[in-house]
Structure 1
Amino acid sequence: MARSLNVQISARAAILARHLIQLILGALSESSERSFMLNINMEKVADIITDVADSQIIPRFGKLCAQDIHFKSKDNPVTIADKEAEKELSTRLLDLLVGSKVVGEEAFDKDQSISDRFSGDSPVWIIDPVDGTKPFIAGEPFYGVIVSLAEQNQVIASWLYDPTSKEFITAQKCAGAYYKGRKLSVLPADSVENMSGILGWRIHNSFEKKGVFLSSQSTPSIDRMYSSCHDYARLVVDGPHFSGQTTQVHFHSLLQTCTPWDCSAGVLIHSEAGGYTSHWNGKAFSPSHYGRGLLSAPSEESWHEIKNWLSSCCVFPE
């Protein structure tokens, strides 16, 4: 009897030991997966972004000469501010997180193979040094700086910065989205005709050509995109009034063609504020998915409702 009892106790001890080992291994794995996120000082990154904006961007606002502006392609300008800001941001962020890599908009324009960095093990900084280059050139304050950090092709931290008002929106994965210490949230979903949205300028133009913006009770309120930095800010309730606006219209949804530097930071902020984002084909967002249609909505259910309405108007990239 005693021997049988000892065998039972030993068997239970072995089972408990196995469970304990699994828990320890799981905790170590989770700790390893989160290591970069836990080691990132959000304020230090914000300080770097502010410093670079003060030295490379703001002094050039409204003061660009013709030789300071070039075109990567038709209707796609780049300025000396874009180039110099990305260069300095890249250097300082790489120094901040040893072993990390960078995918910047201007660097990608010269070498598209750098997008392969998303599939590697190193964390990747994603940089849009001057988001809204056209307004920046025109001397209009609807531009910003966008930085995010990805690990294993998933965005884990984000910064949207408006140099004019010197305001940030930030987010960390599983930790919420914040503005001046206040937690942000998206507008609640409503029926499609009562919701409002923002369209990327290429998609907006295709809508106009098809005459979609006819006044109708069944047509949602739709605005044209200014810059990703400002427009993702407009998707969150109680978000900042960037550029000193006294009033700000908040929107329910945003549809655009995905580029990692335009979308990565905003998608995380929108998600951490309670929203739902997916590629047009229903697949989850990843920063490596360049050129795919991307739709953000207050919820998964409203995402499908908005997509169905949009699909009746135009065809979008998968």
Structure 2
Amino acid sequence: MEKVTEILVEAAAEAVEPRFRALAEGEVMEKAPGDLVTVADRDAERIITRRLRELLPVPVVGEEAVAADPALARALLEEPAAWLVDPVDGTKNFVAGEPSYAVMASLVRSGRAVAAWIWQPCSGTAYTAELGAGAWQNGRRLVREQVTTAPESWTGILKSRYFDPPTSHRLLANARALGPLDPGRRAAGIEYPLVATGERDFILYWRTLPWDHAPGSLLITEAGGRSARFDGSPYLPEPPGGTNGLLVAADPDQWETLREILLKGF
């Protein structure tokens, strides 16, 4: 666990942090309309990929590698083990000079995330999780206590951007039964730790790309929370284009209540 954290920290220090608020002309591109990538993303992924394969020689499913060759993501389903890498989670924030970005990795075995790492360079904070062994923040064990407050006091993040307008409007209407909504930070590697540490109670996502959600989902479940599809099935990382919709909550009972409230009428 410590070795992978070291790999992410060192890759960020070499390829990402020197370019923060210092990107030159031509170092920001579009993979698709509105979907940014920078030289920092690509360089960091190359470094992380090489070093992870030295640690455990299994396929590496990196966000930028999959953008170039989508078939690489099949390793998540077809290989006994694979690494998942998001070299700069929150690229738009990074390009804008906002500190809400992270460097992330996870290890997938038999289609399930078994270890996860989130490194937040601007705060110097590392989050790790290992299946059955707990969740940690800079070496401190994270444990979410059972939520005992009423729903109207629960605060969370509702990522309505990728829902169609009628669905988004219904979700926002249902959410009036809850506490204030946080608009989100445009980076899963920043948002999931907010629930793990108690700063927020829940998150609702639609689009669930594996490199964005495998690390945080394991962090939440190992801290005592729940991350599951809308039908209650556990989150499993799968190639882009698969199942969408994910509800994350501080504890399993709260998850059930949130589903009743937020998904009423669906």
TM score, norm. by length of structure 2: 0.89
What's the CA shift string for 1:136-156, capped at 9, x where partnerless? 001110001011111011111
| Structure (1 or 2) with the greater helix fraction | 1
TM-superposed CA distance for 1:203, in Å, is 4.8
Corresponding residue number in structure 1 for 2:202: 253
Q: Distance in 2 between matches of 1:132 and 1:203?
A: 16
CA distance in 2, matches of 1:207, 1:50: 42
| Secondary structure in 2 matching 1:57 | helix
Following superposition, the deviation at residue 200 of structure 1 comes to 2.5
Q: Which residue of 2 aligns with 1:96?
A: 55
**Which aligned segments of 4 or more residues in structure 1 are displaced greater than 4 angstroms?**
203-209, 211-214
Q: Does the C-alpha gap of structure 1 residues 119 and 204 become closer, same or farther in structure 2, counting only changes over 3 Å?
A: closer
Give 2:238's aligned residue: 288
What amino acid sits opposite 1:267 in the alignment?
S
Is the contact made by 2:171 and 2:263 (CA closer than 8 Å) also made in structure 1? no
- Given candidates 299, 302, 307, the residue that maps to 2:254 is 302
Following superposition, the deviation at residue 303 of structure 1 comes to 1.6
Pair member with larger Rg: 1
**Once the two structures are superposed, what CA deviation does each residue of 1:260-315 show, in whole Å capped at 9, x if it has no partner?**
110001011100000011112322211016451111112333222212222248x6
Consecutive unaligned residues of structure 1, counting only runs of 5 or more, are 1-41, 239-249
> Please, which moves more after superposition, 228-237 or 194-203?
194-203
Question: Aligned partners of 1:174 and 1:207: how far apart in 2?
Answer: 40
- Give the gaps of 5 or more residues in structure 2: none
Q: Which residue of the partner structure matches residue 10 of structure 1?
A: none
Q: What is the aligned partner in structure 2 of residue 81 from structure 1? A: 40
The DSSP-based 3-state class of the residue aligned with 1:109 is: helix
Q: Which residue of 1 aligns with 2:70?
A: 112
- Residue aligning to 2:26: 67
Cα 1:205–1:182 shift into 2, 3 Å: farther
**Distance in 2 between residues matched to 1:125 and 1:69, nearest whole Å:** 26
Letter in 2 for 1:252: D
Write the letter of the residue equivalent to 1:254: I
Contact 1:159 1:168 in 2 (8 A): yes
CA–CA distance in structure 1, aligned partners of residues 120 and 208 of structure 2: 21
* Bigger shift: residues 137-146 or 288-297: 288-297
Letter in 2 for 1:229: G
d(CA) in 2 for partners of 1:44 and 1:236? 22
Q: Is the 8 A contact 1:201 1:225 kept in 2?
A: no
| Distance in 1 separating the partners of 2:151 and 2:117 | 30
| Shift of residue 217, structure 1, vs aligned partner | 7.0
Compare relative contact order (CA 8 Å, sep 6+) and give the higher one, 1 or 2: 2
Deviation at 1:231, TM superposition (A): 0.7
Note the aligned Cα RMSD (angstroms).
2.4
Identical-residue share of aligned pairs (%): 32
For residues 199-218 of structure 1, the aligned pairs below 5 Å read 199-200=158-159, 202-203=161-162, 206=165, 210=169, 218=177
Q: Using the TM superposition, give the Cα deviation of residue 65 of structure 1 relative to its aligned residue in structure 2, in angstroms.
A: 2.4
2:12 to 53, 67, 84: 53
Query: Do 1:187 and 1:252's aligned partners in 2 also have CA atoms closer than 8 Å?
Result: no
CA distance in structure 2 between the aligned counterparts of 1:254 and 1:184, rounded to whole angstroms: 18
| Residues 121 and 212 of structure 1, relative CA distance in 2, 3 Å threshold | closer
DSSP-derived class of the 1:202 partner: coil
**Residues 102-149 of structure 1: CA deviation (Å, up to 9, x unaligned):** 111111112222121112343211111000101100111000101111
- How many residues are paired up? 261
SS in 1 for 2:177: coil
Q: Distance in 2 between matches of 1:167 and 1:219?
A: 30
